[in-house]
Structure 1
């Protein structure tokens, strides 16, 4: 593997006034590998570059609309939030594919990126050669209920603090109250909600081996973008998350690897297991990690190496 990786970056205008930051690394003539980041709202970062062989593979990544190096940030244009949906992001992925002149590619992602990868592959199976996913989620209503409500049985003290930190209407779900607060006209209300949401996010992933607090929740700008997008998507069950398991037959004939940590309490392994059962030709890898971890990422690197040939 070459030590110096050539990085090609640029900007791509898409719908609704958004401009995506896009980049690629590796051999442009090699098998294409798309990386979809988590969050929603975390940005693509740089770690994905280490998961391919740049001498023979071509990795593509972008910051999803509203976050990272893409513009405008969701916190600067809350009026664009309603157009930030899974369907819109699928269109963005297709725009990225066409931008790079790629006919078919392997699709990879982690956490929310796994949900988006599955939704994209189900919408455009003819464009997908293989799929590799880590910390598998579908962002279904049941998953959102577990992570925002039922998880209080595991972390009762922290959950009470989390639930009390936002004003709720009678019968309103916690996730809906946070989504509403993060669209409030008062910046102080949004900042307080984002901080409380970040504390809860840091809590429910804390049982994995080697866990360390996520510094993103301590940077106000990053935290506010993340909390706004996460609550928006979770409040809407990922804009179709409940349908992903029903649409798994669309992936028949596409090979895939689902990698999940046994200790990922915020995203129970049963989600990956049920997807595997509904997806002939898929492989399920259960590690001892939490929500991501060294064993999981090692399994992802192996899957990418095996598929992207």
Structure 2
């Protein structure tokens, strides 16, 4: 889901704004550079923060979930996202690439084990990382769990969730020809990777508006 939806409302309940004490670009060795930042107490309890999406990127609000006097807070933009390079690249960009990037970050900062915190797609990554590297996880903290299972995808993109936001659902599905609406994920995938920049931007906006609506019960589908 979208990285910004709901965060403005949540911000009033979080710790005060902070700036990173370090930001670096880590070379993955297979064509990507990952933006990583560290905040809070470098001697505190380490926690890795995993953003949603896929494709969301980190925002300053995500630094504020943990007490910066007690926690060593590490955030990164996943491959193709945010400040990582190359932007929006899907080459060598699979779920398992992302899981291995988390481990690369842990090793780079010489962290023995850490709290793994993720929301939405970030929760999925957190669980997969914990399965592959169980000895490196001392606590899992998950919110807005979305596991990308077929029933979940069918609900979100097959009309079930559209019952709650009928106007936004109509805006999401109507740009797709009727004969393709039985598989909206496939139809959008074709247009989002068509090579036509104007079309990709148009359908990217439709997709983002729908995901924003799903990210919070109070959302109107518009990213603030």
When normalised by structure 1's length, the TM-score is 0.62
**What does residue 64 of structure 1 align with?**
78
Alpha-carbon distance in structure 2 between the residues aligned to 1:153 and 1:212: 14
**What does residue 10 of structure 1 align with?**
24
Note the residue ranges of structure 1 that are not aligned, 5 or more in a row: 217-309
**What does residue 50 of structure 2 align with?**
36
**What does residue 163 of structure 1 align with?**
173
Change (3 A) 1:206 1:178: same
Range 194-203 or range 55-64, more displaced: 194-203
1:59 Cα offset (Å): 0.8
**What does residue 203 of structure 1 align with?**
213
- The answer to whether the 8 Å contact 1:2/1:55 transfers is no
Alpha-carbon distance in structure 2 between the residues aligned to 1:191 and 1:39: 17
**What does residue 119 of structure 2 align with?**
110
Alpha-carbon distance in structure 2 between the residues aligned to 1:3 and 1:163: 38
Alpha-carbon distance in structure 2 between the residues aligned to 1:204 and 1:58: 31
- The answer to whether the 8 Å contact 1:34/1:108 transfers is yes
3-state SS of 2:144 partner: strand
**What does residue 45 of structure 1 align with?**
59
1:48 Cα offset (Å): 2.6
Provide, for residues 116-167 of structure 1, a one-character-per-residue CA deviation record: whole Å limited to 9, x for no partner: 1111111111100001111111111211111111223333343233212134
**What does residue 87 of structure 1 align with?**
96
**What does residue 21 of structure 1 align with?**
35
3-state SS of 1:16 partner: coil
How many pairs were matched up? 209
